[in-house]
Structure 1
Amino acid sequence: MYNSFIPWRRYSGGMWDACRKAYGKAIKISCALSAVILLVVMVGAQAASAQTRKNAAPKVYPNNLTMDSAQPSVDSVFLKQMRTRMARVRATEHRPTVGLVLSGGGAKGAAQVGALKYIEELGIPVDLVCGTSIGGLLGGLYALGYNADALRSLFMNQDWDRLLTDVVDQKYIPYSTKMYNSKYVLTIPFQTAIDLLNSGRQDREEYKKQSFVSSLPSGFAYGFNVNNQISSLTVGYQDSLSFSALPLPFVCVASDMISCKAKNWGSGSINTALRSTMSIPGLFDPVRTDGMVLIDGGTRNNFPTDIAKAMGADIIIGIELSDMMPGFDEVNNIGDIVSQMISMLGTDAHNKNIDLPDVFIKPYLPEFNMLSFSAKAVDTMIVRGYDAAKAKKDELLKVKRRVGSVASSKDDASRGGKQFNNATDISVTPVTLSSIEFEGISDKESKYLSKLLNFEVGDKVDRAMLDDVMSRLQATNSFSSITYSLLGREEPYRLVFHCKTSPSNSIGLGFRIDSEEWASILLNLGLNTNSLMGSRLNLTAKLGQNMKFDAHYSLDLGWMPTINFNASVFRYSGNLGIGTDALKYGVSYWSHRELLYLTDVRWKRSNFKIGLKNQYNNVDPNTVFGSIISSSLSKDALRGNYIGAFLNGNYYSFDNKYYPTKGSSLSFSANYDFIKSGNPSFHPIVALGFDWKSVFRIGSRVAIIPDVHLRNIFSTGDLVGSDGQVYNGVSLLHCNFIGGSMAGRYTDNQVPFFGIDNVLMADEHLATASLEVRVSPFKKFFLSAEGGFVQSRDSFVDMLSSFSPDIYAAGLSAGYNSGVGPLKLDVHWNQVHKWGLYVSFGYDF
């Protein structure tokens, strides 16, 4: 929302876009509030602690650090190792040691890359690196051998909107998951204690006391794409080790929410350290390890110059990004607020550490915040960082004179008399595998997942291959987190997938408001639905003018198609038209259906179902439509219980269900009813259907979208008797219906058509075709012009022999694809019903 009292800020669009996509849909608000509440509590705790220390002597923490550590004894070990290495540098190179310290600041870390570039150009050696948050990530990569040019390339070529989420490309998501996601605006996974206690999995002890509330998500994303990025860049140093053994000694800082102390990473897993130091509260899940719950290190020590000094740095160069005292008009959105609250929590350490650097570099970045990841903003900040370092030229040259001109440590150089190899970037250099392992899941699940791999032991793998496999695994929806490590110091490497199973249950919520049914709500309870295999149960209820309840049980054994049983009951009350009659008639009916079938839920772009069904339909004879059917056709057409078989299949490659920009949708269906209860003379009835819709793009903003539907009903006997009455074995289940925006909305056999409101009954053989020309003048906003026709006949021969549509239609529509469902306004006309208007907001169901 725009406030006229707050000036429009440069690049705010880019920041907001990144923020919106990172926090996502309705979760954006809840995660933001969670982050603010969390930080407020920690600020309160710190304020109370500060009050008790007000008149006390300055606290001296272990290892001479300015903030208390969660593991001081561990710190003392690696700090001693690093001081030993610095002593070796002094002894062999006869110069003082130089420490580089990088503060946190989110996207503003781009400025640190620019400053590093100028330091490199001056030829100043760096002997150790400390950092927090984005400074910890950049510092870690710098310590592993990535120079300023490489870091600039990473910043500039990154899709930050994707990196800050757990999103995978649509091509990896199973068809069934796509259909689920197109209905529910909010899905909340949850776990119960008994689920994990009975599962036999390795993580059951961690959850044995969890309740429903405690199993809810702790952040919008766990960091799937960030983890993949880190793992691809740190190969050769992914074993647990002392960070004094990196090409440059390195320490980064995270914050432990259990002890409210700093976690100083100087040993352990480099991947875990880099992920935890930048774990922004609310955006990313905390990192849980060794009894600690770790979040962004800026909340404890955002500018760790004290650690650099404790590591043995004689000279400290610090690049600091925080805004400890922003102006009134510089705290506006969630990015500004979270950034400022992180800075507030680290104020004590910041005030003690700010005077320690020998060279203090402060880029000028007032119009940017932690989420300013647009390409233009990043480029500007890199230039600002370079200029800020250049402004300190005299001080930096003074440092250079003290240390001399030393070859950069970035090229596998010898540091302190010892050779260190840089980390391997597998997007550039593929590596060989010695073994492939899965951690955190059962042997049976490991064997199942192994089938998803497109490589084996002895093969060379690169970033693209591992990203492909990781996306396949992530798309199963079975993991709350999944990461990988390439363990070993040199080839061949041991590939280990670290799996943490997700809560197996979920609650889904969807809503829709439109001019036909007014308001509807869709609720779903999924039990064991996120498991890799086994039994699953989905309970779904549609609440509104027309009710529907559905229970779906499935059994996935992993080695064969999934076995499904589905039972549903549906009630419809509304208006129904007949053929080209301009009038609509009141109708009410209810139906129940039971299905037993096989399907394969793991296919990505297609799906099939084959099985048996039982279906009952009952039309209220007291409604206008019911009385017409019973008097002019047959009373038996109002009700009946039918047993039959069915087969249907779908191919679906749209990138978005509602406003696709590419792809196609192709489906077919065949229903064969061969028994009617209580009617031994029933003639079997066959219904065949075919649907096709594709998107053809013209440039970046215009699309041509043809849409075709065919449906034909055949019987082994006559559908109409010699007396003109409809054959008594036929019911409304065996009639064609057309109209509205959704297929199957009011009846199973309903074919959508934009030019007809609600629904009308058609003849046994039906064909519709439409052509939409859609323009997108702005992002997520669409304008369309449509034209189409409907033709139906009671004879298949007549359908094929002549082209004479019963209804012509044209229409204009405008739509906006919001984060909680499309908003659409449709004005249309046909020669029978004349003008019509349809308005909707929300997902289709």
Structure 2
Amino acid sequence: MSSVPAGAQTYPNALSVDSAAPELDSAFFRESRQKMASIRLTEHRPTVGLVLSGGGAKGAAQVGALKYIEELGIPVDLVCGTSIGGLLGGLYAIGYRSDDLRELFLGQDWDYILSDAVDQKYIPYSTKQYNTQYVITIPFHAAAEVLEEGVGRTEGEEYEKKSIASSLPSGLASGLNVGNLIASLTVGFHDRMSFNDFQIPYMCVAANLISCKARNWGGGSLQDAMRSTMSVPGLFEPVRTEGMVLVDGGTRNNFPTDIARAMGADYIIGIDLSDAQPGYDQVNNIGDIASQFFTMLGTDSFNRNIRIPDILIKPRIPEFNMMSFNRQAVDTMLVRGYDAAVAKKDELLRLRERIAAEGAEEGRKDTRRAVDISKTKVTIGAIEYEGISDKEAERLAKMLDFGTGDRVGKAELDDIMSKYQATGAFASLSYSLLGTEEPYRLVFHCKTSPNHSIGLGFRIDSEEWASILLNLGINTNTLWGSRFNFTAKLGQNLKANAHYSLDIAWLPTINVEASISRYSGSLRIGGTDIFSEVSYWSHQELVYLSDVRWKRINFKTGIKNQYNNVDSRTLFGQLVSQEFSKDVLVGDYIGLFANGHYYTLDDYYYPERGVSFAFDANYDFLKAGSSDFSPMLTLRFDLKNIFPLGGRLALISDIHLRDIYTASETIDLEGGVHRDISILHSNFIGGSMSRRYTEGHIPFFGINNVLFVEDHVFSGSLELRYNPIGKLYVSALAGLMESNYTLDRLITEFNPDYYAFGMELGYDFITGPVRLNLHWNQVDRWGLYVSFGYDF
């Protein structure tokens, strides 16, 4: 039987670690010991406790060991665990067995589960576009909210201090997807209850950052218990409950054999996943240091508890770590765990003989086990929301695709959770299916995000050198109402934009927007090798309708005023002034516009599937100060298509067409007739970014900088892209462009002005892609473009 190490009883309940709630532990231990006494009395045998240590992905080895223990028919009368051991132990306690747990390990996309990732199909169009430009987004509370914190709060009520510091993330992930997984596996056990009432009495360990003591979960919310015991600091946000801030229990008690002893186990089987003590040359990078730091925090309790189990199973898995969730690694660890248990066959057989366990599992066949809603749908009796207002709840309820009386499973609940998360209005989300039988009461637990945000983006490239993009969003993380965004681009070329929107119920969003920009650089006239210095500034004001909730489509329609002023002192300004007059350098236009964008790309920079189709129509009918101005119509079409070729290959087509129509004419000093000259109503082509310098700027990889072309312009390119490894991409490109005075001639006299070929090497860093583009065209010959960062 398990022994008590000398000198280990320094804390209440003879535990190796001080507890945050020793009184609760005492009550739980009394009840569990009574259950163990009942087993001894009714089954005439000693009791067996199972203890599972933490270890992340290495928990697969514990599942392999459990498989062999089950094959021997050894009963488990109580189970304790920490971190992944706490998760597996909890599932074991509510009816899951080794085959179920094996399926769990092998059937998940763990990269997805360990993140808050939401499929692109749920994310609103506006959010997708925002995410393509900003490296960092920091949510924050308003000053008024900070000043009003605690007002009206009753004594003892939990609240969060509102400040910019409190708004910063406390982990890479809030735990959305892992929370959804836990909830889906534990239906029937979502109510607050004693864990002694499970099929197998259960306790897991978390660590309370407030008291620096262990939180031994023996009752309450099983979801909170499982979620907190595996809340690895830095990876997941802590679980905040009952005045505690809880993280992974491995920082206090990673191998809780002392708890199994306190619960009344006569014999203890422990499965330990700890690594060997690292040598001097094995602690090198930040990951090694962080891992060893967490290990160090729980070393004292581990050294005491490792001596407690009667049978210690230690799988040999030195080449794997807590994140080794890939299929090959999991398969290997399942086998290694099984083999480690087999190596203890003699000890396990002697234990089986001592307990004479025949028929021990029979008594549990009629006990209640959890429902796995990924396999069995359940009936919903009521739907409720916690943590938000009635109006917000009403808004969210309209997004449901099911109602009371319907049968739902994991797919339906994951779907609605993704929809809610994609609104950006919530810092964390979870759900419970309350009740012990159908119909269950579905409760969504919502914690709203700070309403406001600051965004930062940057880019360094061979055209504009360094640029920074800043964004201030007010009320941007709300479900509806007024929102305000101020955006500024700093660098060689400057731009500022202020955008107010009003979203009411399910009506179109009302928008008012104003912007001002300045461009300074080089401009080349089509058909020449001369680069002209040019500088101009412009501003525009828009009032329009849109819908910010659409996922794949963006549509805007409204009225706008546009003003441009080309600096007459630049070479380009002088050329235009000499050819026409200074009057054509300045223009203030009022018109109508409509544009739309259908967007299904799964990634903006390196998509593997999807299509992007955009159109623009601008009809300017008035030019301030000009009584003889004729209306001008500008049409634009952009189409990008991704054709997966299997494996890591993809073919990408990219087509752009822009046409300008007008009856207005300008006569030069020599009597030549031209259409009205305007930077706003001209076509520009070149570079990698669309609309970089003006609304009339379309991209073409084969031309550096900007080329001024005719009224009707077409460009098309094909890219064969290969992804050899990770986030590295290699592309071969070919393309052409042509411009002409009329659309008829563009089609009937098609003769490319430029055709180009190129190679591009890119790496998709988290801070934005790094790209090196080497290209050739028949006019300029060789060209090079280099960039690092997001496009804006």
Aligned to 2:609: 662
Please tell me the residue identity of whatever aligns with 1:125: P
Check the 8 A contact 2:50/2:270 in 1, yes or no.
Answer: yes
**Mean Cα deviation higher: 477-486 or 784-793:** 784-793
- CA separation of 1:777/1:305 partners in 2, compared to 1, >3 Å: closer, same or farther? closer
| Aligned with residue 414 of structure 1, among 344, 363, 376 | 363
**Mean Cα deviation higher: 270-279 or 81-90:** 81-90
| Aligned with residue 647 of structure 1, among 567, 588, 594 | 594
Check the 8 A contact 2:146/2:161 in 1, yes or no.
Answer: no
- CA separation of 1:220/1:677 partners in 2, compared to 1, >3 Å: closer, same or farther? same
Check the 8 A contact 1:201/1:442 in 2, yes or no.
Answer: no
**Mean Cα deviation higher: 431-440 or 559-568:** 559-568
Please tell me the residue identity of whatever aligns with 2:450: P
| Aligned with residue 347 of structure 2, among 395, 410, 413 | 395
Aligned to 2:576: 629
- CA separation of 1:406/1:198 partners in 2, compared to 1, >3 Å: closer, same or farther? farther
Rounded to whole Å, the distance in 1 between the matches of 2:447 and 2:748 is 61
Alignment partner of 2:430: what SS?
strand
Please tell me the residue identity of whatever aligns with 2:97: N
Q: Does residue 144 of the first structure (1) align with residue 91 of the second (2)?
A: no
Q: Residues 472-521 of structure 1: CA distance to partner in whole angstroms, max 9, x if unpaired?
A: 11111111100011111011111111000012222211111111011111
**Mean Cα deviation higher: 541-550 or 128-137:** 541-550
Aligned to 2:115: 165
Aligned to 2:298: 346
Check the 8 A contact 1:202/1:440 in 2, yes or no.
Answer: no
Please tell me the residue identity of whatever aligns with 1:271: Q
Alignment partner of 1:180: what SS?
helix
Check the 8 A contact 1:193/1:207 in 2, yes or no.
Answer: no
Aligned positions of 1:573-652 closer than 5 A? 573-652=520-599
Please report how far the alpha carbon of residue 638 of structure 1 lies from its aligned counterpart in structure 2 after TM superposition: 0.9
Please tell me the residue identity of whatever aligns with 2:255: F
Please report how far the alpha carbon of residue 795 of structure 1 lies from its aligned counterpart in structure 2 after TM superposition: 2.0
Q: Does residue 107 of the first structure (1) align with residue 54 of the second (2)?
A: no
| Aligned with residue 314 of structure 1, among 266, 288, 308 | 266
Please tell me the residue identity of whatever aligns with 2:378: V
Alignment partner of 1:434: what SS?
strand
Rounded to whole Å, the distance in 1 between the matches of 2:126 and 2:531 is 36
Q: Residues 782-834 of structure 1: CA distance to partner in whole angstroms, max 9, x if unpaired?
A: 22222222221222332333222222222222222222211111122222222
Q: Residues 221-272 of structure 1: CA distance to partner in whole angstroms, max 9, x if unpaired?
A: 1111100110000000110000011111100000111111110100000000
| Aligned with residue 270 of structure 1, among 195, 202, 222 | 222
Aligned to 1:251: 203
Q: Does residue 700 of the first structure (1) align with residue 643 of the second (2)?
A: no
Rounded to whole Å, the distance in 2 between the matches of 1:679 and 1:198 is 55
Check the 8 A contact 1:740/1:758 in 2, yes or no.
Answer: yes
Aligned to 2:738: 791
Rounded to whole Å, the distance in 1 between the matches of 2:269 and 2:556 is 65
Check the 8 A contact 1:324/1:344 in 2, yes or no.
Answer: no
Q: Does residue 371 of the first structure (1) align with residue 326 of the second (2)?
A: no
Q: Residues 592-649 of structure 1: CA distance to partner in whole angstroms, max 9, x if unpaired?
A: 1111111111111111111111111010001001111111134232111111111000
Alignment partner of 2:26: what SS?
helix
Aligned positions of 1:104-143 closer than 5 A? 104-143=54-93
- CA separation of 1:634/1:784 partners in 2, compared to 1, >3 Å: closer, same or farther? farther
Rounded to whole Å, the distance in 2 between the matches of 1:842 and 1:558 is 37
Normalised by the length of structure 1, the TM-score is 0.90
| Aligned with residue 75 of structure 1, among 22, 25, 35 | 25
Aligned to 2:124: 174
Q: Does residue 467 of the first structure (1) align with residue 414 of the second (2)?
A: yes
**Mean Cα deviation higher: 551-560 or 94-103:** 551-560
Check the 8 A contact 1:568/1:594 in 2, yes or no.
Answer: yes
Q: Does residue 153 of the first structure (1) align with residue 99 of the second (2)?
A: no
Check the 8 A contact 2:484/2:499 in 1, yes or no.
Answer: yes
Q: Does residue 96 of the first structure (1) align with residue 46 of the second (2)?
A: yes
Check the 8 A contact 1:636/1:731 in 2, yes or no.
Answer: no
Rounded to whole Å, the distance in 2 between the matches of 1:246 and 1:812 is 62
Please tell me the residue identity of whatever aligns with 2:757: A
Q: Does residue 361 of the first structure (1) align with residue 313 of the second (2)?
A: yes
- CA separation of 1:553/1:611 partners in 2, compared to 1, >3 Å: closer, same or farther? same
- CA separation of 1:407/1:466 partners in 2, compared to 1, >3 Å: closer, same or farther? farther
Check the 8 A contact 1:196/1:207 in 2, yes or no.
Answer: no
Aligned positions of 1:197-596 closer than 5 A? 209-323=161-275, 325-407=277-359, 409=361, 413-415=362-364, 419-596=366-543
Aligned to 1:50: none
Check the 8 A contact 1:336/1:370 in 2, yes or no.
Answer: no
Rounded to whole Å, the distance in 1 between the matches of 2:765 and 2:166 is 30
**Mean Cα deviation higher: 201-210 or 66-75:** 201-210
**Mean Cα deviation higher: 395-404 or 206-215:** 206-215
The size of the alignment, in residue pairs, is 784
Rounded to whole Å, the distance in 2 between the matches of 1:584 and 1:171 is 44
**Mean Cα deviation higher: 86-95 or 274-283:** 86-95
Rounded to whole Å, the distance in 2 between the matches of 1:790 and 1:702 is 25
**Mean Cα deviation higher: 285-294 or 764-773:** 764-773
Please tell me the residue identity of whatever aligns with 2:145: D
Please tell me the residue identity of whatever aligns with 1:452: M
Check the 8 A contact 1:613/1:643 in 2, yes or no.
Answer: yes
Rounded to whole Å, the distance in 2 between the matches of 1:312 and 1:193 is 54
- Note the residue ranges of structure 1 that are not aligned, 5 or more in a row: 1-55
- CA separation of 1:423/1:719 partners in 2, compared to 1, >3 Å: closer, same or farther? farther
Please tell me the residue identity of whatever aligns with 1:100: L
Rounded to whole Å, the distance in 2 between the matches of 1:296 and 1:199 is 29
Please report how far the alpha carbon of residue 198 of structure 1 lies from its aligned counterpart in structure 2 after TM superposition: 7.2
Please report how far the alpha carbon of residue 664 of structure 1 lies from its aligned counterpart in structure 2 after TM superposition: 0.8
Rounded to whole Å, the distance in 1 between the matches of 2:206 and 2:359 is 32
Aligned to 1:27: none
**Mean Cα deviation higher: 61-70 or 218-227:** 61-70
Aligned to 2:704: 757
- CA separation of 1:58/1:835 partners in 2, compared to 1, >3 Å: closer, same or farther? closer
Alignment partner of 2:572: what SS?
helix
Please tell me the residue identity of whatever aligns with 2:137: T
Aligned to 1:812: 759
Please report how far the alpha carbon of residue 717 of structure 1 lies from its aligned counterpart in structure 2 after TM superposition: 3.8
Aligned positions of 1:720-735 closer than 5 A? 723-727=671-675, 730-735=677-682
Q: Residues 183-213 of structure 1: CA distance to partner in whole angstroms, max 9, x if unpaired?
A: 1112222224633787999999855643211
Alignment partner of 1:695: what SS?
strand
Check the 8 A contact 2:663/2:675 in 1, yes or no.
Answer: no
- CA separation of 1:95/1:244 partners in 2, compared to 1, >3 Å: closer, same or farther? same
- CA separation of 1:601/1:219 partners in 2, compared to 1, >3 Å: closer, same or farther? same
Q: Residues 293-338 of structure 1: CA distance to partner in whole angstroms, max 9, x if unpaired?
A: 1011111111111111111111111111123622334434444433
Please report how far the alpha carbon of residue 572 of structure 1 lies from its aligned counterpart in structure 2 after TM superposition: 0.6
Normalised by the length of structure 2, the TM-score is 0.96
Rounded to whole Å, the distance in 1 between the matches of 2:216 and 2:150 is 34
Q: Does residue 688 of the first structure (1) align with residue 635 of the second (2)?
A: yes
Check the 8 A contact 1:197/1:208 in 2, yes or no.
Answer: no
Rounded to whole Å, the distance in 2 between the matches of 1:193 and 1:735 is 46
Check the 8 A contact 2:662/2:675 in 1, yes or no.
Answer: no
**Mean Cα deviation higher: 687-696 or 710-719:** 710-719
Rounded to whole Å, the distance in 1 between the matches of 2:528 and 2:505 is 52
- CA separation of 1:157/1:203 partners in 2, compared to 1, >3 Å: closer, same or farther? farther
Rounded to whole Å, the distance in 2 between the matches of 1:353 and 1:834 is 73
